[in-house]
Each structure stands twice: as C-alpha cells, then as structure tokens.
Structure 1
Amino acid sequence: MSYYSSGDDDDDVLNQLKNLKVDNLKSPGIVEIMFRWSLTDVFNRNLYKGEVPKIPRIFNSLEHYLSSYSKPLIEETHADLRSCMEIISQRTPTVETICVEEIPAAEFYYTVKLLKKPEIAEKNNFEKNVAYEPMDADIFALMRTKPRHVSDLSRDESSYILGFVVRNCDYEEKLNDLQHVVKLSRKLEISKSYRESYFMVFLLNMTTTIRIWRSIDLEMAKERNLNIINKIFSYDSLVKKDNISSSSLPKKFEDACVSENLERFSLNDSQKNAIMECLSMRQSEEMNPIQLIWGPPGTGKTKTISTLLLALLQLKCRTLACAPTNTAIVEVTSRLYKLLNDEQILRDVNFSTGDIVLFGNKSRMKIDDNLSQIFLDDRVRRLDKCLSPLFGWRHYFSLMKNFLTNAVSQYKEYVKMHEEMEKLKKEMQEKNEKAKKEMQEKNEKAEEECKPVQPFNEFALSKYRLYAKNLEDCIEVLCKDLPRRFITYENLKCMNIALSLIKKFKDFLVSAICSDEDLEDVFESIPEKSDEVPLAVISGYLNMLDHLSIESRLRKGRSFLWQLLVKISTNLCPPDLSDSTAAKDFCLQNATLIFSTASSSFKLHNTKMENPLRYLLVDEAAQLKECESLIPLEIEGIENAVLIGDECQLPAMVKSQISENAGFGRSMFERLSSLGHEKMMLNVQYRMHPFISKFPNSNFYNKEIHDGENVLDPSYLRNYLSGPLYGPYAFINNGRGKEESDKHGRSQKNMIEAATAIKIVEQLFKVSEQTKLKLSVGIVSPYNAQVYSINDKIGKKYESLKYFSLKVRSIDGFQGSEEDVIIFSTVRSNKSGSVGFLANAQRTNVALTRAKHCLWILGNETTLSSRENIWSKLIRDAKVRNCFHNADDDAVLYKAITKACIEYDELDDNLVNNMNSLKISNNKCYIGWRVVSGGGQRWLPETFSGNMNDYDSALCVSPRRFPGRRFPKKANVVVNQVSCVSPRRQTWLSNLQMDDSLWGVVGLPPITMGSYL
C-alpha cells in the first residue's frame, strides 16, 4: 500500500469533475450486462448455452431482425472477456494509479490519476511488462496488486473490480494525459485518511461491440436511416426487383459518364458489367438497392472497386467505402489514390484530393506519406492552420502583398528600429548588470542589438523567403485539401501559376546583381490594378522571364505575382474554421469519397450533412458480420449499397462456439446469396499459374473461373528451384514431423515442418541473391504458434533486402495478399487424423490461392487424408496430377529434416516407426552426429568405422528408442574418449576414427565430446 499526494491543480480538476451531471455519464447497456457477471460466470463456458437461438435467414419484422443479434453478441462478448482473463500474466498491459476518487453525482463513477504516462513498449519486446495507456471504451480490472497469473483474480471477493473507461466531451477538456473518468462494476471503498494506489489491468476494448450494440437497438435504429435495412430483413421485396436489369436503362448514361474510363483500364466483360450494374441502380428506383459482386481470388476485385469509385467520383456521387479491417480499407484507398495520380484521369475527372478522405486509427492503418495527403487527422491539422480566421491563408496572402508593394517602407522602418536598438544598447551599457537584465526581459528584441543593419537586398531576400515559405504551404493546402467545389478552375490555375512564380521570383532575388538603389527602385513602383494582365499572358510569360534583363524580370515577376495574389484572394472564399472540430466536420461534410472501416463509420452518425452520403460500397463484405454491416447502412442518406466479397473465403472471426453455431459470424453477403440474391461474378483470374488455380476452381467455384491470358502465357512458369518437388504446384509429404501445442494450449506447431519451410526459403534466397531476381515469398500457416516459431527462427535475416522479401503470417493475415511463392505449412501430424479447423474449406481456399507462380504445400499425408474432407480430395488430386512428392526424396530437405529431428529430440517416434533409417551391415554403422572440438561446433552427417574388439555393448542405444537393438560385436571401431549419451545410459569409447568417404543415414542420438546435445 502506497501513499501519494497530488498537486493543487489536480485536486481542482477532480473537484470540478465531481459536479458533473449524471445524464452526461452513461455507460452502454452491454457494459452493464458485463458488470453483472461474477468471476464464476465469466469462466463458465456454458453460461448462455441454450439461450442463444439460431439467427434465421428471413425475418418477420425489423424488431425480429435486430433482436436476433443481441444474445449472440452478448455471448461473443462473454467469450472475449473470458479469453482475455485466462491469459492474464506478468506481461498483461498494466498501469499504476495514485488517486481514485468518487464522483458523488453518478453512481460507481470515479476519476483516476495515473502514476505516470505509460511509455510505448518496444515491438516484440517480450521481456518487460507492457505499459497500459487507458483508451476510450476499454474494459479493465482494477486490482490492489500487479497480477502475475489468472489465479490472482480469485484470491478473495475484493481481488478485482471490472471497470470501463468513459469518454465525454463535457469533461474531456478538463483532463490531462494522466487523468481519466471510469465506471466500476461496483462500489470501491476508498480510505479517507490516505490515497491508496491501484493497478488498472487491460482486458479488452469494447468500441466495435458498443457500436454494434447501438446499431441493433430498435429505438436508436428507428431514428436512423432504414431505407435499405427495411428491404433487407424482408427479402421478398428484393426478389421482386432482381429481374430488373440495367440493360433496360438508357445508354446515354454509360456513354456520357464512364465508358471512356472503362476502356482505359482494360477491364474484362465481367468487370465492366459489374460496374455498369452498380452505376445503373442509381438511376432507377425500380432496381434492387443492393448489389452483390462475387470476387474470387485473383479476379481483379480491387481494380474493379477502384474503377467504380473513380466513376462515382466523376459523377460527384457522395460515397462511403468500407471494409472490415484497416488493412483492407487502406488497400482499396491506396489503389484508387494511385489511379488518381494519372494525369489523363486528373484532366477527365476534375477532382481535388480534398474530395477524398480516409479516417481511422493512424498507427493501426500504418499511414504512409502518400496517404497522409488524404488522411483526415493530417488534413485537419493542415486546414486548421490554413483556414484560421486570424493567422490563416488570408494573413499570409496579406503579408506577401504588403511586402511586394511596401518593401522599401518596411526597410526604412527596419533601419529606424535598428538605430533605436543601438541607442538602447548604449543606454543599457551605462547601467548595472541587474538593470540590464531587466531591460532585456522587457524588450526581447534587444537580443538582435549586436546584428549589423542589413543592406536592402539582403533584407528583401530574407523577408521574401520567410513570407514565401508560409505562402507556398498555404497555397499547397488550398489546392490539395479543399474540395473542388470551393475552388474554381480559374482559381486553381492562378494558384498553380503563383506557386511557380513564387519560386522564380526568389531565384531572381538570389541571382540579382544590382545595387540597393536599383532594387529599391524596382520595389518602389506600385503595380496598378488597371495594369492587370490576363492569366493566359502571365502563364506564357513565365518561361520568357528568364530571358529578360535582371531589372525587367524583377519588375515583371513582382507585378505578376502581386496581381495573381489579388485575384486569388478576391475570388477564393473557403470557410473560416475556428478549431479542429470544425475542420473535421468540414472535411467529412464536403468530401465526395469517404473511406473507413465499417466500425469507424459509426462516427458519421454524429456528423450533420446538408448533402448526405448516398452510396455505400463494402469491400471484403463476406468477412463482415451482418450486425456490424448495419453500422454504415444506418448512416443518414444511404440509398444504394454494393457488397463485394467471396463467401468461399474466410468469414468473420467468432470466438464463442455457441455464437458460431447460432450463425453470428454470417455476413449479409452470405445470407442474401444463400437466399438466391443475384451475384455478379468476376470470372477471370490473373494471379495463379493454371496448375495452382485448378484445384480451387474445381472444388470451390464449380469451374466457373477462367485463367487470364497472362497466366496462360508460357513465360508465367517459374522454375525457381531444380527438382521435381519445386514445380508450380506440389504437395510435399513429410511424415517425420510431430505436432505439439504451445505453452497456452491454444495453438499448434510442428518444428520439423517449420525447419523444412525455412530450408526451402534459404534455397530461394540463394537463387535470388545469385541471380538478382526479385522474389517475394510467403509462409502461411493456419496456426499462430507455427507462425511465431518460424519468425523466431528466421529473425531479421530477410528484412529490408533489395531483391528478396519474406512474409510469415497466419491464413487470416494473408487474406487479400499475394506472393510469387507460397509455402503452406499445414502443421497437423498425428495418429488420430485430427486436423482441427484446417478442415474448414474457406480457410483452406484462402491459403491455396495466395501464390502467383509456385505453391508448395507441406503436410503429413497420413494425417490429412485419414478422413474424407477437403484435404483428402487435395491429396488424391495431387497424386493424379503427379504433384505429390515425399520430402525425403530431396537430399537437401532430407538432411534438414533429419537435423531438425535430432535438434528437437523427435527421433523416438520417427525411428521406431522407420527402422529402415538405421542401417547396420557389413560391420558399418551409418549415423549422423554433432561434434564439438576446438571451441566450435559442426554437423557431421557422415559415418565412422573401426574395431570394436571386446566392446559388446558399445554404442548401445536407449531401450526406449531401440528395444533390444545393439551393434554387432567386432564392428571394426577404433575407440577414443568420446561419449555416446542417451537419456538412459552412457558408454565411453576411445580412439574414434572418422571415415569421410561415407555418407551416413541418421539413426542415433547426437554424439559430442562429453555431453549430450
């Protein structure tokens, strides 16, 4: 127990917070439900068993539709909290508090002050405890001691209290970084005589869950947009409109708006048709308001989406583009932004980057410099400065105009001030040091007293540079961050010319070789408005200025720049923004295309828009729970929606088996598709070599997908490694691996298979390094434990290389990605034939469709094919196509696997099951062993021979490993002081002699000088 004191300022803040109105502090209903769970309830996996009904496919009413998701959501939250509590340890994010005080007007609400601001933990730092920085909607456990294990929660009834971090604009400005308002699940007894410290232990963040909860709340939903939702739950209304096609619509729409763009992007027929269907539904109320685009792997889904968004931008149709994850929405945004950098498109579409905005969590989205131009927080920061009423663009325009017309008078003022400063300096020298110090504090400008007066040319250049930098920044912001409707085409041209002229005039001043008098004469003449030159003339003059005399170019450049600034400031009328909140609302209210995750789009419910959003596009829609897709669908104004996805790939992640069985993870895309809603299929794949695409196409897509011309071209075949195992498609059987659980028992790994994958990567890297061939490789596995093990073994070996890149991820992490070579580590290797969720066809489909040129699957044939599932089909198919191979048939892999078996002590089962690996004949014993000598260590997969004489039990292997197996007497071994150690016994030999001419088959434990490795 600790005692602390806080400053008076902190106490004042806490006292103010005590008087907050109860109405302003209200936690969501689902949080209140969580607070009612006891610790026993949390760890009871069957708490809601029998209470979570299966979600139907068709609903009777809006109330029936929305309420169907409440119980599954509660159970999923219950499972999420349980899983977080189960893994509490010393490394769980934790922060210490020094002050917890009750807010009397609100029951169970408290203010907390942290001991210190948490430091961001280093990535992959598993040694130290991770610091916790409380965030809005966090659920935490408040404890008196720092937890070491989950058992710390159950010491006594007061071991922990659940808490919820509350955010409210009424008090947010009163708090500093160390202060937070929280709600606790029950009353906290606080000592009045001292301040007791507590620990806040992070469990989970509830942001998305709360947003879903509010979206399925019937009363809240009735106050939102139900245009599409009313038609979705009553599927009959959609079926009636399915037969209406865009073919009945006038063709002038297509010809006038998008046909040229469609031709430019070399779209195939299925892509064109999908785009036209989606655009056409805007014109007819009779058409279905929701369209489904089925995008199997490699069929150009992202290209189709970006082209559709470009057409919507051209049509000035306000659109919200969403995706389930940060990675997915950033990918779509990046692709569109890349398209918009095309000069031809810039001319045709007539847009500003200010018409596009992306918002969300910057660190999680990993926003780079390019996307920073359209990322909301970065744009708000720029606009907040540029559109400030007092010191915004008008201020900088005024400074430059004033300088161009009054530079000489400003210089005279500067000289006069300098003379006064010199006079002040002399007076200060006559006084004592104390008085001198006081004078300096009163007049900061006295610091410049020692600088000599600048000549006019230096003064003009320094002032111009200062004003020009701020002015250039402002014009850049106005051009790029303002939506196009706030800038006329004429003004845009003026600003672009002004940017060029600002730079040119600076160069003129730098290179000007003339007297101060001549330069003053240039600036003395005041440009008259009557002398205004047409914009076309100024533009034409820009290149000609360099050929004029020094005096003429200065005069002309100054006059033209002044006229441009006057013209721009007169015609430009962007709004004045008082603060960042106003800037944020301005961006969201005026952007044509808005990008965010489906969850983050909830923020748009609180943004009032005169011109509301009309169109919703959801990428990876099959990965989005239907209840979560309601968040963007309920946004005011949305009339049409396009869902793009593939229900044959990964669905949404669901932790609770009870909720999973209820259909909680089902997407709207999947439900509508199962009810017969028409899907527009993208039917040409451009990613996979035909050998790779054959099995997925046959088993997941009914052979409806065609291979593109690019993958059919013979040049698409890559022979990165020699040997029959390394064709474009192969199943590489490895029966010597053994699966094992990680320390938490939550995931599986197979170290022998990991070693095999790493050895293949090593060979690919050598090829890339020797040939300077750009090569991207991915290792994909269904189990996180396998991913962690491989990453741990590889380390940073392949990071930041010019020609070679390697990604090691789970199947979930690879969805949407592609690499030249994919190595699929299946992990499962057991006698029972259990494959876990590897049997899931959707998961398998994702893993099998990430490779462009080569897909090599590592697995245990016996385990994977023991039951009739997708894997037994795959192995049969591989054998029929002569794509099935044994890893031991490749000499390099054989050595690597054998070495790994010894390293991970997995010889027991391998050698008992494969006794042929041990060959003892002709007085020769073939082994592989490790020897330590001279301080070094080397691997010797070779043999030894010699005269055993009377050593009948020499090299006797543990009975556990080889029951009853011994070496023959007089096996011709020369003995030396070397130990052969097994877990059961040790036998000393002498005069060991190596025979380098023989290559050994591994069959014994490793031998080392005096120790067992």
Structure 2
Amino acid sequence: MDKSLDNNGNMGDALEDIVLSWTVSSVKDGKRMKEMPHTFCSNEEYVQCYKEPLIEETRSMILTSLNSLRTCQHYGLLGISKEKTSSFFLDIDPYCIDGVKHAARNGDIFLLSAFGPDSLPVENDGVFAMAIDISPNEYLCKSFHVITKGDVTTGEFKYAFFLCNITTNARIWKTLHHIKDNAIIGQILQPPLDNQRCDICTEEVKSSEPFDVLFNNELDRTQKGFAVRIASKIKCHHCQSLEILCGPRRSGKTRIISTVLESIISSQQNILVCAPSVHSFSSLSSYLLESMSGRAKTYDVLPAKRVGSAIILCDIEDELATSSNQIKELCIGYRLRELMPCMIWRCKIDGLISFLEGGFKEKAKEIEDKLKDKVGDRKDIMLQLLKQMLERKSSTLVTLLKTMWIYAPSHIFSEDVDKGMAALFESLDNLNSLVQNGGATEEDIRQTFNLGRVQSSKSSTLRTSIRRPSPRKNVSVNSIVVDMRLAKDECLKRLKYVARHITMFPFETDIESLKKYLIKETPVILTTPSCSFELLSLERTQIDLLIVEEASQIKECELLIPISIHSIRHVVLTGDQSRLGPISMNKVNENSGYGMSLFERLISQGSQKTLLTKQYKTHPLISYFPNNYFYKGRILNANGVSSNYLGSNLCHYGFINTDANKESAVIFSLLNIVVKAFKRKENLKLKVGVLCSWTETDIIGHMTDENANLNISIQSIHRIQEDQDFDFLIISTSAFPTDNTMIRCALSRARDYLWIVGDSTVIGKYVTWSDLIKDAKARGLFVDANKESKFPVIFEHGAFDVSNLDVLGCTLGLIACK
C-alpha cells in the first residue's frame, strides 16, 4: 500500500503526487470507508472526512480503466525525451493515431507500457504519468509534456494508455486544503431548519426599478415569491442564507432562475450559477440570450443581439462537445475568439482620426511627389485613393466596434455610449456615401482636404496657364464640398467621443489577460463546480450570490469549490430530490455517503425548502403515474398543458406488453408509426428518443430518419442522466435497472408521448414496474401484443423483415385508438 499520509496523519501532498506514486499493483488495494456524518462540529472535521474518500474515488477511476486496458484509447510512442527530473516529453507516432479519438489534455493519467493492446501480459506493469502544459487549442498534438515519479528509461516504453482525467478531483483536493471560513460554510456545517429572510432587502426589491421584471413576468404566486426572495439576496449584507427550491421537471425552476438573472443583469450585480455540466445550461442559455437581446437599446445601425452580460466558463473540451448554438455563443472560448481580433480597436480609431485630420493629406502629397515628373493620365487619382482608404478603414472599425458591442461586458457601454456609437456609424456611412456615390469630383476632394490644386508636368502647366487665369483669393465652394467637410468633422467628433468613453475595454492585450478581464467584468458567470476553481485564483469583483442548478446531481465535496469563494454570502440550491444523484466510481464510497449531494443531505436533515407544485409541459396522461407514485399527488397540471399542439391522434401514453425477444421489433415498428404520423408536418421539429439496452442500441440504430423534421436519438439507459427532453419517448424495459430513482428519471424525459415496451411477466416482479403496469391497465392504456394472433415475428437472427413492418404497425396502432 502506498503512503498517502505523512507522519502526522495529514495529507499534505498534492493529489497528483499521490497518484503518480502508485504502482499498478498498489492501485488494486482499496480501503473501507467510514460512513459520512450528516452534521459537522468544525471545518477541520468537515474537510478531513472527504480526503480519504477522494483518494479512493481516484483510485477506482484508474482501476476501472486498468481492468479494461485492451480497449482503452492509446498512443504509439516514437520516443520519450527527458526535460528535467520527473519531467518528460512523449513523442507520438503520427501513423498510429487514426483510431484515437481522445485528445490529450491537462490532468490526463496515462499508463506508460512496453506492451501494446494485443500483447499485454496478464500481470501488466508500467508507470503512471500525467499530462501537463497542453494548450487548450491543441488537438491530437504530436508530442506533449508529462510528469511521473516512476523510473522512465528512454526507449523502454512504446505505448501510452489513457486511463482517466483527474482534474476535477485535483481541484477538489486543493480546495479542501485551502478552504477558509466564509459566511456560508457555517450554514453547511450546521444547517438551519428555517429560511433566513431579510425583510429589509425584500421590501427594497419590491420598490426597486431594475426588479420590475420579477412582477411583470408570467410567474405563478409560488414562483414569484421565491424569485423576489432570491433577488433580495443580491444586495443583502445583513445576514447569510441558504435556500432550497424543489420541484419536478418542467415545474418552472429554470424560468425562476432566468427571471432573477434578468433582473440582476439590469441592476449590474454579480452572480455565479453552477450546474453539473455545460449541457445543463441549455434552457437557461436560451432564456438569457433572449433576455439580453430583448433588453438592449435598439438602434437601426447597431446589431440586433447583445450577449456580453453572461458567459459560460468551461474547458475547451466541454465547448467542443456541445451541439447547442446557444451554449456555444456564451462559452468563454467562443467569446475570446470573437473578441481577440478587436484588441486593435483603439489603434483603428486613432488611425481613422489621424487619417481624417491629416493622414490622407500626407498620403496624397507622397503620391503626388512620386508622380511629379511622370507623364500620364492622373485623372481622379485622389478621389479613387480616398474611396479605397476610407472604405477599408471605416468598415474595419465598424466591424470591430459591433463585435465588441455584442460580446464585451454590456455595462462598459452606457446608454450615452450606445447613442454615440450609433451616431458614429451613421456619420461614417454618410461620409462614405458622399465620397462613393455623392457625385464628388477630384477638385471637391482637394478642397475638402485642403490638398491644393493639381500639380502637373511642365507642358501641361504651360497650357493651363495660357488657358486659365490665376485663381482668385475667394473661390466659391460648392454644396458637395460643404457636405463632405461637415460629414468629416462630424466623424471626427464621434470618433473622439467613442474613444474617450469606452476606455474600460482593454486593447493590445494577450488572450489570457482578456480572459481574466471578461471573468472579472461579466455580471453573470455560468460554470460547472470544477471550472469555478479558476475563480479562486483570480481577483474578481465581489460575488455575493451562488445559484446551483440541478444541485441534486452534484457531489457535496465538488460543490465546495464554488462555495469556498470567500465573498459568497448567499447560496440557492435548486433541484428535484427524486432525480438521480451524483455517480460515484467507488461503490464503497457510494455506500458510505461520499457521493451524496449537499442538496440531498440538507433535505434529509429537515432543512426548509420551497416546493413547486405545478408542472407546465408534461402531458397529464404521462405525469399521472409519476405524480401519484413519487410525489404523493402533490403536483398539479397547469392550465393548457393537455392541449395537443402536435396535432396527432396518437395516444400520449401506453404500456405495450411483448416477449423480450420481440421487444426490439416492437420498438422499431413504433418508430415507424411516429414517422408516418408526422411525415407531412414539416413545420414541426420534433425530438424522438429511445432508451434501451446497449444491445438494442446497435440493432435499432439501423433505422434511418428520412424526415428532416424528426430528430431520432437512440440512447443507452446508461446515458439517462444527460439532461435531455423528448417530444416522443419510447422506453425499453429489458435490462433496465430496477432502481426507483432511475425509473423516475426515465419517465420524466417525455413531454408529449411516452410509450413503454416490455415483458410484464419479467419486470412485473419488481414493485415499481408492477405498480406502473397496474396503473396502465386501470386507465385502459395497456396493450398486450402477445395476444394478437396476427402479430408477426419480424426479427430473426439480428435482421428485420421490412415487408412485415406495416402489418406490425397496424397491430400496435390500436394504442392510437385509446
């Protein structure tokens, strides 16, 4: 067993050092964990109880991969070069990465081995190494830096097997070692049984203009009351508080949080929102984007959207993994890519000012000097030069400023600055129009910019002097010249105003400095608990309020990262206690309570919570059983939730009984029914989901969707925790876990249609499934496909007989007649 504790029994080493000191054989030696307490007497007790379980969790992550090493992602190594003590560069064989989907990133743990996947010995040995100093923009890099404590001899190891990434665990470890007393920790150690409400701040919110949105929004009484109470926290320094909001899916939790955020953005306060994953921000991102763009001051020349008041702080891998455009637009990586080209904004403003004040005149003189002794046609040369240079300089500046207006923190653009920018864009457009299409001549340009008369060769000068008299002192100026001079002066005035009033935004800075600036100045930061670790090391404007979405799915020790931000005084936990909790890799840890969420622990202790008792989007036929079975009938259906807006006569809920060997065929046929029902409804964009076992995923996955309006997703039950909703959901019960929470989570995924397929004689042995089947029979929503004499066997030896598909569809179609 490796040594994890020092002589005093403390764990002072970094988690990375402990992991790298392990050998392959020592990883297999685990520890039995004590049961986690529910209350704590001191910070020290609280912190210590998480340290050993965190080590065991990390050990289990590595052991799980070691047990399936032959199927792990791996790199072929060309060589290992030593940089310094315990530090090496791995040179990847570029011809052996075709099948490698994993891109190395910081915190990756690799096993360096002399054997490949096809020649691994039974008792494999090797050295653990961890990737460091990898740039976020690198993908499948040909070499990367690792550290190790093992004996690495150059040329000995030929393969690097990826095992897991320990970044999150390492961040938790560091937080546990550096956690300080802050205003909210005491409430976690000894949680109060009632909400601590500040009546002073609640009354201030009711009379404060930025919070009008709380009262104008279409929230029900319970939702509005909670929103007002949370909004009052942002300015409250009279007390600390810990609030809990419970409710099933589609009961309005995200709507409440988005409304609160909208009011906070208006009041220019700072708030941190955490969720289990970046994907969890899908709904909240849509609300925020709509709110930020809708509340922006609108001018015809300014962009229609504005998103700078919120960012998602996440790793580049999370950004690349998401398919949501709303999430990507808020991700800090996307924001940096958009704003980095704008770092020259000040140079472009100064350059255009210089150009209009005298730069063009100098450029014109330089060109004339070059052409002075050359004979040739110089017609409209200054006019063409002005057209090209003014268009290029002004269009570049306008693009940069519009990009800044969209993505930079919105508070740096006051209402006056917005007006000034709109006036600048209009004046530049006016000047360009006069120059490009206003009928200006060469002589008009010379008079506007005081270039003097045309300088020509000797012969042409002689002819000119004979033909024309000397110019008079008072030359009349035409209206075009007057207009251009006024437009030029107006542009200079607006340019100088904008340059003077947006000095808060940086210029000529590097990407890291810009990232720190955005984190510091953006009012609303959305992030995962792990990524919030970055806020601990940055000097940031004070954050008073932390809101945690889906808090029931986040381990308590992981949530300590954002909670340990010293300025936080108020924490709001939202979630559904009936949802799946955090997943622990170590079953011993899970049984000891290590995987428990703070949300679950506080509720189990009797902490007061606000329960939302209305659901707004799930069809009543679907919500009936979960409501009565899991929520004791406390959840009501909102008005209008039963309206069949999809326009189909299919039944919204049903259980289809069939033998296990026919289950895949039945599901395939049900998908065919869905496709036919909505084949001609191109205006509907529907999500259709199937939850089934891994085997069925391969079988049913052969179905192709020929309808652009249907997005069919075949998923394993192991991905059930992903935060996805479906218009149609078909659940296969074969190999489905019998855990109540898992079943409850699966049933909550459907919005409008839920069809459950299974063998009632098999799953009926389990209490929850048995009660669900009884409920379906009592409501006349049970279809026994086994009793249909014409039920065809269309699935044999892993292949479908498509010719029988319509027959099966008609047989099962009776579910639509209920």
TM-score strictly above 0.5? yes
The partner residue of 2:55 within 63, 69, 74 is 74
Q: CA deviation at 1:273?
A: 1.3
**Matches of 1:814 and 1:551, distance apart in 2:** 69
Rounded Cα–Cα distance in structure 1 between residues aligned with 2:134 and 2:646: 59
Question: Aligned-pair distance for 1:733?
Answer: 0.8
Please state how far the C-alpha of 1:496 moved relative to its aligned partner: 2.0
Q: Which amino acid aligns with 1:357?
A: I
- Cα pair 1:118 1:131 within 8 Å, conserved: no
C-alpha displacement of 1:602: 0.5
Query: Are residue 137 (structure 1) and residue 107 (structure 2) matched?
Result: yes
Contact 1:825 1:859 in 2 (8 A): yes
Give the alignment partner of residue 705 of structure 2, picking from 786, 790, 798: 798
CA distance in 2, matches of 1:326, 1:135: 18
Instruction: State the 1:677 CA deviation.
Output: 1.0
User: Could you list the per-position Cα deviations for residues 916-948 of structure 1 after superposition, in whole angstroms to 9, with x for gaps in the alignment?
Assistant: xxxxxxxxxxxxx98xxxxxx977999xxxxxx
Structure 2 Cα separation of the partners of residues 477 and 213 of structure 1? 39
Q: Distance in 2 between matches of 1:856 and 1:549?
A: 76
Q: Are the counterparts in 2 of residues 72 and 662 from structure 1 also a CA contact under 8 Å?
A: no
Shift, 1:550, TM fit: 5.3
Which of the residues 456, 459, 467 maps onto 2:393?
A: 467
Judge conservation of contact 2:92–2:143 (CA < 8 Å) in 1. Answer: no
* Residue equivalent to 2:188: 232
Residue matched to 1:951: none
The Cα offsets for residues 779-818 of structure 1, whole Å up to 9 and x where unpaired, read as 3426444435433x22xx228x542222223454465332
1:503 aligned onto 2:456: no
CA gap 1:39/1:397 in 2 versus in 1, 3 angstroms: closer
1:904-983 alignment to 2 at 5 Å? 904=798
> Which position in structure 2 is the counterpart of 1:903?
797
Is 1:153–1:160's contact at 8 Å kept on the other side of the alignment? no
Relative distance call for 1:143 and 1:759 in structure 2 (3 A) is same
Q: What residue number does 2:217 align with? A: 265
C-alpha contact (below 8 Å) 2:282/2:324 kept by paired residues = no
Equivalents in 2 of 1:941, 1:385: separation in Å? 57
Shift of 1:887: 2.6
Decide whether aligned partners of structure 1 residues 787 and 331 sit closer, same or farther in structure 2, where only a CA change above 3 A counts.
Answer: farther
- Amino acid of the residue matched to residue 751 of structure 2? K
Q: Which moved more, 1:599-608 or 1:838-847?
A: 838-847
Q: Aligned pair in 2 of structure 1 residues 650, 508: CA closer, same or farther (>3 Å)?
A: farther
Contact 2:352–2:393 under 8 Å retained in 1: yes
Structure 2: distance between partners of 1:550 and 1:285? 62
Q: CA deviation at 1:863?
A: 1.0
AA matched with 2:247: G
For the residue of structure 1 that corresponds to 2:79, the secondary structure is strand
Cα offset for 1:244? 4.4
Partner of 2:418: 492
**Shift of the alpha carbon at 1:637?**
1.0
Q: Secondary structure at the match of 1:769?
A: coil
Residue deviations 1:616-665 (CA, integer Å, cap 9, x gap)? 11111000000100010011311111111112011111222211111222
Secondary structure of 1:296's aligned partner = coil
- 2:270 paired with 1:318: yes
What is aligned with 1:883? 781
Cα distance change of structure 1 residues 412 and 698 upon mapping to structure 2, 3 Å threshold: same
Aligned to 1:198: 158
Change (3 A) 1:839 1:881: same
SS in 1 for 2:730: strand
RMSD: 3.6
CA contact under 8 A between 1:257 and 1:314: conserved in structure 2?
Answer: no
- Give the structure 2 partner of residue 731 of structure 1: 655
Partner of 1:183: 147
- 1:449-491 CA distance string (max 9 Å, x none): x999972222111111221122113322443344344344322
Specify whether residues 562 and 891 from structure 1 end up closer, same or farther in structure 2 by C-alpha distance, changes over 3 A only: farther
CA apart distance, 1:885 = 1.0
In 1, distance between residues paired with 2:158 and 2:330? 42
On the 8 A contact 2:621/2:653 being kept in 1, the answer is yes
Amino acid at match of 1:271: Q
1:778 and 2:688 aligned? yes
**Structure 1, 94-103 or 838-847: larger mean CA deviation:** 94-103
- Structure-to-structure mapping, 1:137-156, within 5 angstroms: 137-148=107-118, 151-152=120-121, 154=123
Q: State whether residues 475 and 499 of structure 1, in contact with CA within 8 Å, keep that contact through their aligned partners in structure 2.
A: no
Q: In structure 2, what is the equivalent of residue 296 of structure 1?
A: 248
Q: Equivalents in 1 of 2:345, 2:14: separation in Å?
A: 46
Q: How far apart, in 1, do the equivalents of 2:276 and 2:437 lie? A: 56
Residues 1:411 and 2:368 are matched in the alignment? no
Are the structure 2 counterparts of residues 848 and 226 from structure 1 closer, same or farther at C-alpha, using a change threshold of 3 Å? same
* Pairing partner for 1:757 from 659, 667, 674: 667
State the Cα deviation string for residues 556-611 of structure 1 (Å, max 9, x = none).
Answer: 432321211122223432344532222111111112111111111101111012x3
In the TM superposition, what are the counterparts of 1:542-557 in structure 2 within 5 Å? 553-557=483-487
Q: Which has the higher contact order (CA 8 A, sep 6+)?
A: 2
Name the residue aligned to 2:628: 698
Q: SS where residue 332 of structure 1 aligns?
A: helix
> Structure 1: any 5+ residue segments left out of the alignment?
1-25, 122-127, 424-449, 527-547, 722-726, 739-751, 829-834, 906-928, 931-936, 943-998, 1001-1013
When the two structures are superposed, what TM-score results if normalisation uses the length of structure 2? 0.85
Aligned to 1:308: 260
8 Å contact kept, 1:498–1:564: yes
Q: Which residue in the other structure is 2:336 paired with? A: 380
For residue 396 of structure 2, what is the amino acid of its counterpart? N
Partner of 1:823: 730
- CA shift, 1:778, in A, is 2.8
1:586-597 aligned at under 5 Å gives the runs: 586-597=517-528
2:651 is aligned with 1:651: no
1:114 aligns with 91
Report the Cα distance in structure 2 between the residues aligned to 1:592 and 1:63, rounded to whole angstroms: 33
1:731 is displaced (CA, Å) by 0.8
What is the match of residue 333 of structure 1? Answer: 285
**Counterpart residue identity of residue 555, structure 2:** K
Aligned mates of 2:182, 2:382 — CA distance in 1: 68
CA distance in 2, matches of 1:517, 1:595: 58
3-state SS, counterpart of residue 757 of structure 2: strand
In structure 1, the residue matched to 2:595 is: 665
The amino acid that maps onto 1:816 is D
Checking the alignment, whether the CA contact within 8 Å between 2:282 and 2:326 is kept in structure 1 is no
Partner of 2:714: 808
Q: 1:784 to 1:717 in 2, by over 3 A?
A: same
Closer, same or farther: CA 221–458 of 1 in aligned 2, 3 Å: same
**1:216 aligns to what?**
176
CA shift digits 1:820-839 (9 cap, x unpaired): 211111223xxxxxx6xx22
Check if 1:870 corresponds to 2:777.
no
Q: How do 1:705-724 residues align onto structure 2 when only pairs under 5 Å count? A: 705-713=635-643, 715=644, 719-721=648-650
Most deviating of 226-235 and 361-370: 361-370
The residue identity in structure 2 corresponding to 1:701 is Y
Secondary structure (helix, strand or coil) at the match of 2:680 reads: helix
1:787 aligns with 2:685: no
Aligned residue number for residue 746 of structure 2 = 847
Q: Partners of 2:622 and 2:614 in 1: how far apart?
A: 14
Match of 1:30 among 12, 15, 22: 15
- Structure 2 runs not aligned, ≥5 long: 1-10, 300-304, 453-477, 812-818
Alignment-mate amino acid for residue 711 of structure 2: S
How many percent of aligned residue pairs carry the same amino acid?
23
Q: Is 1:359 matched with 2:313?
A: yes
Report if aligned partners of 1:95, 1:133 keep a CA contact under 8 Å in 2. Answer: no
Whole-angstrom distance in 2 between the partners of 1:504 and 1:258: 37
C-alpha change, 1:268 and 1:40, in structure 2 (3 Å) is: same
Amino acid at match of 1:860: D
Q: Which residue of 608, 630, 655 maps to 2:560?
A: 630
Q: Report the CA distance between 1:553 and its aligned residue.
A: 4.7
